[in-house]
Every structure is written in structure tokens, then in C-alpha cells.
Amino acid sequence: MTRSTLLASLLVLVCPLATWSVSAETNELASSLASSLVRISVTAQEFDAYMPWQKRKPHSRVGYGIAVGPRRLLTTDSLVRNGTLIEVQRPQSGERLAATVIESDHQIGLALLEVGPDTPPFSAVKVLPDRQLDGNSRLQVVQLDSTLALQTGGAQVLSVAMTSLPSAPYPILLYTLLTDIAVNGKSAILMSGDRLAGLVLQYSGSRRTAEVLPGSIIARFLDDAGEPPYAGFAMAGFQWRSLVDPVRRAYLGADHTSDGILILACIPGTGADRILKPNDVLLEWDGYRIDNLGYYTDPDLGRISMPHLIKFRRAPGERVPLRVIRDGKEMGLELLLARHRDSDALVPENTLRDQAPYLIEGGLVMMELNGHFLRSRGSSWTHSTDPRLAHIYLTRATSPEQPGDRVVILAGILPDRINQDYGMFGHEIVTSINGRPIRNMRDIYNIIGPNGQVERIGLQGVGIELALDAAALPEANRRIARLYRIPSLRNPPSPSSRD
């Protein structure tokens, strides 16, 4: 008997047993999830990143949710973000039920929905702590096919790491799974028996792998959202890098140990800003020793990057003991944790949910730089955008020199005869208005007042100011608004810009 014939014979013998086992398990799972799993259809519409006076065309998304209460459904933030209409469908049902977002956290990628009181109650599933998952765990990815029938596939844990979210630049604990099912929508469900083990955030068809947000983060989010106000997840407020160079370690007085990372900078107003200094060597955080690459040994997950220790083992408002080496001397400190707020960042994220403040004067569009503005150029945005803006975003997006700092840019130039010589100045950084320095859009509106106008614009790295004809501006603005169909040339910042 040839090798190929033998292999075919073995497959014939093995497949019926495997099929029976999977089918039996699938039938049991289908029965338990019949009143828990839903398909979610979302119509979303965001403000345009380049033209904040208008919205982009509505578009649709499809994904899944799982019941975590009689009226509450868990899904991913990226599925429902900026949703104008959210509808859910039960398995094998054509009825669509309206749902609303009651809590959403784009920093961890989760959202909690609620349906109306007249909706028949769902059967809530329990969440499985992720520490019970490993390469030997029996896992199933669950979704609905085109007929809204349950569809499942096996999955196996390949790795666990702190990784940036697919939809936002925040580090998060993600499991990488190998799965034998093609995931056909956002937020497919990962089950371990009858317990919720995670939500799929991203799927690669070529590699057959899925990035999954685990149960520990889900459980923490649900507990927090169940007791408003929502506190969120913790941040410390410092930038760091590995410290393996023996010469630098000796210079910092840390050559007597192989542990510790280098503190580079602290975000103004945070707990780290109050107690840490650049060139501190962080040796220990909350009783855990930090190695020179920034890893520690977690009791549940093993060796993993330190951001997990900061973000997921403590909560905002708690104080954390730490040990550092400063000027060659080891000392103990205590740091107050807080929640990161986009409104405190130099270059904020998740801004398309609200209309951004802007000002259009003589066709010159001024606004504050944000992450969506840069990434809207696509995956290769770092090569196609102004390198100065890319550098700011990649090196100090969360670190203003003082609270309230933003990067004001000349986002675009709407061609008109009043600005006919200024077309080359797009995407420049604005540093002054009418001869006065500015730090954000609020400063611009404070300078010009309710009825004033911008006559001179100072740009970073440019030796001259852009001047606009003050007498011609009123008519030019009316002409530009009419020609480009702009409902309002001004959108000042709201009284409070905090999240």
C-alpha cells in the first residue's frame, strides 16, 4: 500500500468520528446560544477628517454580539462606533430590534448595548477568565451564516501578548488563535464550553488566525459598566524604553542589577509627572520586578510586557508602589493611577464621533491635528503625509508640554483668488494668529473674538506670515461658503472638550 493510499484510508476512518464529535458539540452549543447570540447590523456615519464641516457617506457594518444580561449585549467598539442606527437579529429570525450604546471604550475595544424593555429577554452567558486558556483549551469560534444559522469552528491558542488594537493605537492584551472557520464579520464569539472566552477583533484569512480580546478584560469592562459612572482602565503617564546598554546602565548607576527600564518622559498632569523624572530607572512596579526589556512574570499569563501590569491589574484612582534608581540611588515611590483621556493628548484619537473645532478664513482651513486626519491616508500614511506631522504623532502624541497644548495645522486651502499664492502651504503647523502665539483652536477664537477675523497666520519653519486682505475677507468668505457649500465657516471649541 502506498503512503498516499494509507493516508486516505486513515482519513476515512478518522473523519466520521471527528465529524460526529464536532456535530454533537455544535448542537449542544447551538441550543445554549439560541437566545444569546445575535447578529448586529450598523449604519455608521463619521465627520470627514479633512473637511470637518461635513460628514462622510453613510456606510454599513455587520458583526455579532452576545447577551450579558436580559437586555444587554456585548460587542466590539469598532463595530458600533459612530453608529446612527444599530439593529440586532436573533438566530434564524428576520425581526430586527433597535439597540443603543450605553457604554463604549475605544481604548480596550469593547461596547455595551441595550435593547428596549419590550424585547423578549436574552439568556446571559457567563464569562470565562482568560487564565484558564492555553494551547490545550477546547475552544470554538461562533458566528451566524447567511441564513442566520449557527456556525462554529475549532480554535487553538497560539500566543498571548500586549498588542495594539486593530482600530486604535492602544496596547491591549490579545490572544492569537488558529481557527478552522472563516470569520465573516466583526466580533465573532469565542466560547469555551458554555462560557464566553473572548471576542474576535481581527481575522486574517491568509493565515487563518484571529486576534481575540480575552475574558479577563471583558469581565472587568462589564463589572465597571454595571456600576456607573464608568471608571475605565488605568494609565501611569510615562514613556519608556528598554535599558540593555551596559555603558548607559553604569552611567545611571544601575550596573549592579540587570533589571530595570529607562524613563524617557512623563505626560503633564499625570501621576508619573508628579513623582518620576527622565533618566529614572524603573526596577519594580507593584511588587513585580521589571526586566531590562520591559517584561515581568505575570502569575496568570507568564512573561508579558509591563503595560499589562499597569493597565489591567489596577484601576484608576489606586496608588501603586514602585522602586526606581535615581542619580545612582535606589528609592521607593508611590504613583497615583488615572484614566487616559483623549482630550488631554497633544494629538487626540477617536475624534470623528463629534464635529471637530475648525475655522475657515479666506479659504484657509485651520483645525487641530488628530489621529484620524493622519491615518485617513491609508496604511502607508507615514510615507505620504508631512514628515513633521508624522514625527509628532509617532513620538509625542500623548505628551503635550503643558495641559491644553494641541497641534494646530493649516489642514487645507480652498482655492480662491484671495489665497491664490498660498497653495503650497497645506499641512503646515500654525504658530500664531494676528501676531499672537497660539497653542490650540481655543486660543484662535479668543484672539479674534466673536466678530473678528484672521488677517495674518504664522507658520512653523516659514520666515513670513500669510496675510489676507482684511477688506476683501467678508466677501471672499461668503463666496467660498457658497461655492464649496459650507454651512458654517466657524465651529469654535465647546466649553468643555474633555471626554
> What is d(CA 192, CA 156) in angstroms, rounded to the nearest whole number?
11
pLDDT at 22: 47
- d(Cα 230, Cα 392) in Å, to the nearest integer? 31
User: Is-contact 408 358, C-beta < 8 A?
Assistant: no
Q: Is the pLDDT of residue 33 over 80?
A: yes
Residue owning grid cell 501621576? 271
Q: Residue 141 in contact with residue 152, Cβ under 8 Å? A: yes
Contacts of 480 (CB under 8 A, 6+ apart): 360, 362, 363, 414, 416, 486, 489
For residue 429, list its beta bridge partners.
409
Side chain identity at residue 152, one-letter code: T
- Sequence-ordered strand ranges (E) for 317-459: 319-326, 329-336, 338-339, 358-361, 364-368, 408-413, 430-433, 436-437, 456-459
Cell readout for 225 is 459598566
Closest CA to 114 of 15, 228, 266: 228
Q: Return the pLDDT at 24.
A: 56
* pLDDT tens-digit series, residues 341-382: 888 889 998 777 788 999 999 999 999 999 889 988 888 888
| Comma-separated ranges of CATH 2.30.42.10 domains in the chain | 234-339
Short-list 41, 21, 30, 19, CA closest to 95:
41
pLDDT at 211: 95
| Mean per-residue pLDDT, 46-61 | 92
Q: What is the pLDDT of residue 137?
A: 82
Kindly indicate the confidence band of residue 7, based on its pLDDT and cuts at 50, 70 and 90. very low
Contact 348, 357 (CB under 8 A): no
The predicted structure's pLDDT at residue 242: 97
For the segment 102-125, the average pLDDT, to the nearest whole number, is: 94
Note the pLDDT tens digit of each residue in 377-397: 888 888 888 899 999 998 888
pTM value?
0.86
- Is the pLDDT confidence value at 464 over 90? no
Q: Which pLDDT score is estimated for 186?
A: 81
Average pLDDT, the chain: 89
CA distance 373 to 395: 17
pLDDT (tens digit, 9 = 90+) per residue, 207-266? 999 999 999 999 999 999 999 999 999 999 999 999 999 999 999 999 999 999 999 999
- What pLDDT does residue 342 have? 81
Distance between CA 87 and CA 79 in Å, rounded? 12
324 has a pLDDT exceeding 80: yes
At 218 the pLDDT is 96
Fold exhibited by the domain 234-339: Pdz3 Domain (2.30.42)
Query: Where in the chain is CATH 3.20.190.20?
Result: 343-491
State the sign of the Cα–Cα–Cα–Cα dihedral 270, 274, 277, 283: negative
Does residue 4 have a pLDDT over 90? no
The pairs formed by 253-260 with CB atoms below 8 angstroms and a separation of 24 or more are 253/281, 253/325, 253/327, 253/328, 253/329, 254/281, 254/283, 254/325, 257/283, 258/291, 258/292, 259/283, 259/284, 259/289, 259/290, 259/291, 259/292, 260/290, 260/291, 260/292, 260/325
Q: Which three cell numbers stand for residue 271?
A: 501621576
Q: Which CATH number fits domain 343-491: 3.30.420.40, 3.40.50.1820, 3.40.50.2000, 3.20.190.20?
A: 3.20.190.20
Residues of the chain with CATH 2.40.10.120: 37-115
Query: What is the CATH architecture assignment of 37-115?
Result: Beta Barrel (2.40)
Cβ(40)–Cβ(75) below 8 Å: yes
Q: What are phi and psi of 316, to 5 degrees?
A: -55, 140
